[in-house]
Amino acid sequence: IAVVALAFAVHLPGRGSATPAALAVAIAFPALTLAAGCAGLMLAAPLRIGRGWPVWTLTAALAAQGGLWMEWNAMRLAGAPAGGGGVEAAFAACALLGGLAVSSWRVDGGNGSRHDRLCDGAARVLPLIVVVGAGFAATMQRSLAPSSLAAQLACDAATALVVALAAIRQAMLVRDRDQLADARHRLRDREDELGELNQHLEQRVSDRTREAELRNAELSVAMQQLSMAQRELMRSEKLAGLGALVAGVAEEMSVALGNATMVMSTLEGQLDALGRLHSRAVGGNGQGPAAQRRGDGATGHVQGLDRSHKQLAQWIAQTQRVVDGFRQLAADQSSNQRRHFDLLAMVRELVELTRLSHRRDPIELIVTGEADLMLDSYPGPLGQVLGQLLENAVMHGFANRREGTIDIRVWPSGRDAARITVHDDGAGIPAADLPHVFAPFFTTRLAEGGSGLGLTVCRNMVNSVLGGRIEVTSPSRAGTTVTVTLPRAAPRPSA
């Protein structure tokens, strides 16, 4: 628009008798070449064109050729001679430069932030340059040379249109700049939110990871506790099965001992008959030396048989008592029946069974106490408690020792209670572990198969079934003492 207005301003004053078609042709040549040069110049800023010479050479050649056309047309309208040698030479030079630039055409972008800032500044200043140039052209057109009304109107209209387009373009630039600033602000906010979300996400992931690790640890502990409980249950079932087995073996041995007792009774009668027969035989044969010697020998054999018979009777009676005790102990271990029993005798039977199971261990078991201490209670659970206490003493107290002593004492506690103490001179319990010995699943021998339920089961049986209490003390370097206090009459279960 500016180039066309410039061409009108230059050519209209000297139009003379030129027809509109001739004037249009005269205006078209400089308008096209100058517009192409201006377009190349204005595209340099948006395209970030660098220092490549072909682009700038072609732009300069087009602009120069447009100016030459403007001058040549003005000369023709003014009636100058057609042969202007200098103008034609300049035309040729511009054409050659343009052809050389086109033959090497390549648009190279600029590099560096400084060039980018320069191009951005040029893009912002271009509308202002156009407005200033339009105003300057209008001023020069009115002041320097008189022109026709048509030229003035054309120049004024072009100037107003250029100013309007420049204002619109500037407004668009301002709007784009505001939008860009707003976009940058939103982008910065999004980046801040994203950073905060990433931070929170990392925190949540860390929290969830710790929570998952905690849950896995709890699950592992629960699985371990379940495995321990299963082993403890299997142990209880094995004990129950062993009790039934001992009861069956004791029953068979009792039958065999009954048969042996019957045979012994028969032997006793036969021995009496043999003694009487021997007495009559000795009295009827006289008192010769040979007969006297034979009688003395037969009497010695009869007396020896009598002594052997009496010893056999004693051993059979003792064996029968042991078998009866084992059978009663097995029955108590496999049931929870309530009955009256002698506490010391029951403890002795249990210790004998423990001594047999640990006969290869150099551990001495000593039982002392007051006899005829009768209890109306549950010997089965009490036997399980004492068996567990003895096993704990052997397993924990003498784990690193070759020999030791376990003292089991039974004595009354007032008129309505009785006490049982199990003392060992073993390693003892560390002071830090002593408050936790009754806690479920607490054990110092987890890697060796300990379940941590033994003393817990003992305390539950003593407190709930037997109605008593259990205490553990372990002075430094003095072994461990477990005291079980029981009422002589266990509490009756509520209906």
pLDDT band at 367; cut points 50, 70, 90: very high
Query: What is the DSSP annotation of 223-263?
Result: HHHHHHHHHHHHHHHHHHHHHHHHHHHHHHHHHHHHHHHHH
Percent over 70 (pLDDT), the chain? 70
In whole angstroms, give the CA distance from residue 476 to residue 428: 7
Q: Is the pLDDT of residue 379 over 60?
A: yes
Our CA angle for 141, 2, 44, nearest 5°, is 135
Residue 368: the pLDDT is 92
Task: Report pTM.
Answer: 0.40
Angle among Cα 454, 458, 459 to the nearest 5 degrees reads 120
How many whole angstroms separate alpha carbon 456 and alpha carbon 17? 129
Confidence of residue 212 (pLDDT cuts 50, 70, 90): confident
**Position with higher pLDDT, 135 vs 387:** 387
Q: What is the pLDDT of residues 317-347, one digit of tens each?
A: 767 666 665 555 555 555 567 888 899 988 8
pLDDT of residue 32 exceeding 80, the answer is: yes
Which pLDDT band holds residue 197 (cuts at 50, 70, 90)? Answer: confident
| pLDDT of res. 294 | 54
Give the tokens for residue 475: 């002075």
Distance CA 247, CA 319 (A): 15
- pLDDT, residue 447, reads 47
Please list the residues that pair with 413 across neighbouring strands: 417
Q: How confident is the model at residue 458 (pLDDT cuts 50, 70, 90)?
A: confident
Sign of CA dihedral 127, 132, 133, 138: positive
Give me the residue label for tokens 């860009």.
Answer: 180
Tell me, what's the pLDDT at 89?
83
pLDDT at 174: 78
- What are the C-alpha distances in Å from 276 to residues 5, 300, 467? 172, 14, 62
> Can you give the C-alpha Rg of the chain in angstroms?
63
pLDDT tens digits along 173-190: 778 878 888 898 889 888
pLDDT digits (tens, 9 = 90+) for 268-325: 676 677 767 767 665 655 555 555 555 555 666 666 666 776 777 777 776 766 666 5
| 349 pLDDT more than 80 | yes
Predicted pLDDT of residue 288: 55
pLDDT confidence of 397, banded at 50, 70, 90? confident
pLDDT for the residue 159: 77
Beginning with the edge strand found earlier in the chain, give each strand of the sheet holding 363-369 in spatial order.
363-369, 404-413, 417-424, 480-487, 469-473
pLDDT score for 421? 93
In the predicted structure, residue 402 carries a pLDDT above the cut 70: no
Residue with tokens 């700049």: 177
Beta-bridge mates of residue 368: 409
How far is the C-alpha of 470 from the C-alpha of 458, rounded, in Å? 8
Kindly indicate the confidence band of residue 481, based on its pLDDT and cuts at 50, 70 and 90: very high
64 pLDDT above the threshold of 80: yes
Is residue 370 pLDDT above 50, yes or no? yes
CB of 305 closer than 8 Å to CB of 269: no
Mean pLDDT, to the nearest integer, of 349-360?
80
446 pLDDT exceeds 60?
Answer: no
Q: Is the pLDDT assigned to residue 223 strictly greater than 90?
A: no
Is the per-residue pLDDT at 476 higher than 50? yes
Give the residue-averaged pLDDT of 59-87. 78
Name the 3-class secondary structure at 312. helix
Task: Tell me the C-alpha distance between 317 and 334, whole Å.
Answer: 26
DSSP state letters, 17-81:
T--HHHHHHHHHHHHHHHHHHHHHHHHTTTTTB-S-HHHHHHHHHHHHHHHHHHHHHHHHHTT--
Q: Say what percent of the chain tops pLDDT 90.
A: 8
What is the pLDDT averaged over residues 435-443? 74
- Whether the pLDDT of residue 101 is over 60: the answer is yes
- What pLDDT, in 10s, does the model give residues 136-182? 766 766 665 556 676 677 777 777 887 788 778 778 877 887 888 88
Grouping H, G, I as helix, E, B as strand and the rest as coil, residue 358 is coil
Per the CB < 8 A criterion, the answer to whether 38 and 65 are in contact is no
